[in-house]
């Protein structure tokens, strides 16, 4: 890419991508947005993402229990409560993942997009 093409590519970017950090913070401040507001929005987005993921997982557990094992409502509730206890009272994710690997020989690896559950 020659110099003219780089300049054209930079001009075609949105204004916020051409600004430096200080310019961007100044533009946000003009609109009444503080760094604290950005941090709060980031934390809120993270919480919503985690919540949404947990809702999806719990709902998926219910569907799988029904489809694979024809589980009744009471058993589903017990399973979900037990899953919730494991999630809540486990110190960290590595601890529970290592326990599954040790007990069942299953490696849980979400960095692998296609084969997330692997036999060790």
Condensed to tens digits (0 to 9), the pLDDT of residues 65-103 reads: 999 999 999 999 999 999 999 888 887 888 888 999 999
CB 71, CB 65: distance < 8 Å: yes
8 A C-beta contact, residue 108 and residue 119: no
Token pair belonging to 116: 């997330």
User: Tell me: the pLDDT tens digits for 10-22?
Assistant: 788 777 777 788 8
Q: What is the pTM of this model?
A: 0.61
Angle, CA of 118, 56 and 93, to the nearest 5°? 50
Domain ranges of the chain: 1-33, 46-89, 91-120
Query: How far apart are alpha carbons 116 and 106 in whole angstroms?
Result: 10
**Average pLDDT for 31-44:** 89
97, 110 in Cβ contact below 8 A? no
Maximum Cα–Cα distance across the chain: 68
């Amino acid at each position: 890419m020659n110099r003219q093409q780089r300049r054209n590519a930079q001009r075609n970017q949105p204004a916020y991508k051409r600004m430096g950090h200080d310019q961007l913070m100044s533009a946000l401040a003009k609109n009444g947005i503080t760094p604290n507001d950005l941090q709060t929005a980031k934390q809120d987005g993270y919480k919503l993402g985690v919540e949404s993921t947990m809702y999806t997982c719990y709902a998926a557990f219910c569907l799988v229990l029904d489809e694979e094992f024809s589980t009744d409502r009471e058993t589903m509730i017990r399973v979900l409560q037990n899953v919730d206890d494991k999630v809540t009272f486990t110190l960290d994710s590595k601890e529970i993942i290592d326990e599954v690997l040790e007990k069942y020989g299953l490696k849980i690896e979400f960095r692998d997009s296609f084969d997330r559950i692997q036999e060790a």
